[in-house]
Amino acid sequence: MEELLRRSEKLTTVGQLAAGVAHEIRNPLTTLRGFLQLQQQSQKLSLSHVNLMLSELDRINLIVGEFLILAKPQATKFVTKDIRNVLNDVLVFLDSEAHLHNIVFRTVITEEECRISCEENQLKQVFINLLKNAIEAMPGGGSVHISIQRKGDRIAISITDEGVGIPEEMISKIGDPFFTAKETGTGLGIMVSQRIITSHQGTMDIQSQVNVGTSVKVTLPALKKEPQEDLPAAQ
């Protein structure tokens, strides 16, 4: 019975998602079709029409791309990684984008080992999503504070910006598929991230204050520390 409930719940979610995707993709498709029709009626498309068509195609690509990440779990491969290395790779990857927007990453990272079992690419996607949101929240530039701490058998990762923040009435909607406050947002980043973190037995919590900033805290289960190798006995 429980399993049945769980599955029907899942199907409802899938149905809602599918309806959302269909809706979000239909709009740019309608624009594309309209322009192609113009062309067919031998009204030559202007450069701005073509540019708009390209950006609509990019939008479809972005939405489909985010969904591909969700579809991936069938092919997941969990491996043992130190989360400090995973996060560091992401920071290196986003470095030039941060620089371009006058953003500085400030890190406080524990010296303790932080091994976890993870689907590395999915976890990287989570940090990319969260760091991009932080960058986008600070149009005038600023600092993003990133910390990794080990707390017993959990690892806590927090990403804190000094950006626009999230109004209280909006907080509960964050993570709903397609909920975005941005003109060119997809509203899929947090939802996808939340699902990935859940599939890693983790938690995600967002705290925010308008015009002060936003802090996203992720916790993940840590693997036991490797036993320290015996030091050779002093002679």
Which residues lie near ligand ADP (CB under 6 A)? Answer: 129, 133-134, 137, 161, 163-166, 174, 179-182, 185-191, 214
Q: Which does 36 bind (CB under 5 to 8 A by kind): ligand ADP, Mg ion, none?
A: none
Q: Given the complex with Mg ion, which of 122 and 133 has the nearer CB atom?
A: 133
Closer Cβ to Mg ion, 98 or 114, answer by number: 98
Which one of the spans 47-55, 117-125, 181-189, 207-215 is the region binding Mg ion (CB under 5 A)? Answer: 181-189
Q: Nearest distance from residue 128's CB to ligand ADP, in Å?
A: 10
Q: What is the DSSP letter of 212?
A: T
Long-range contacts of 16-21 (CB under 8 A, 24+ apart): 16/177, 17/67, 17/177, 20/177, 20/178, 21/63, 21/67
- Tally of CA atoms within 13 A in the half-sphere of 186 that contains its CB: 23
Q: Is 194 in the site for Mg ion (CB under 5 A)?
A: no
CA distances from 153 to 26, 149, 150, 156, 158 (A): 46, 11, 8, 10, 17
- Indicate whether 193 belongs to the interface with Mg ion (CB under 5 A): no
Supply the minimum distance, in Å, between the C-beta of residue 197 and Mg ion: 15
User: Could you give the CA distance from residue 180 to residue 59 in angstroms, rounded to a whole number?
Assistant: 14
Judge residue 159's burial from the number of C-beta atoms within 10 Å of its C-beta, 0-12 exposed, 13-18 middle, 19 or more buried.
buried
- Does the protein bind Mg ion through residue 133 (CB under 5 A)? yes
CB of 24 to Mg ion, least distance (A): 14
**Binding of Mg ion at residue 214 (CB under 5 A)?**
no
Residue 194 CA to residue 91 CA, distance in Å, equals: 20
SS3 41: coil
CB of 173 to ligand ADP, least distance (A): 8
Q: Considering only CA atoms, which of 66, 147, 130 is closest in space to residue 94? A: 130
Please choose, out of 53-61, 82-90, 129-137, 222-230, the segment that lies near Mg ion by the rule CB under 5 A.
129-137
Residues 69 and 125: beta-carbon distance below 8 Å: yes
Q: Does 189 bind Mg ion (CB under 5 A)?
A: yes
Closer residue to Mg ion (CB): 53 or 146:
146
* Residue 125 to residue 71: CA distance in whole angstroms: 13
Given the complex with ligand ADP, which of 208 and 219 has the nearer CB atom?
208
Binding at 135: pick from Mg ion, ligand ADP, none (beta carbon under 5-8 Å per type): none
Residue closer to ligand ADP (CB basis): 146 or 222: 146
Which CB, 35 or 105, lies closer to Mg ion? Answer: 105
> Site residues (CB under 5 A) for Mg ion?
133, 189
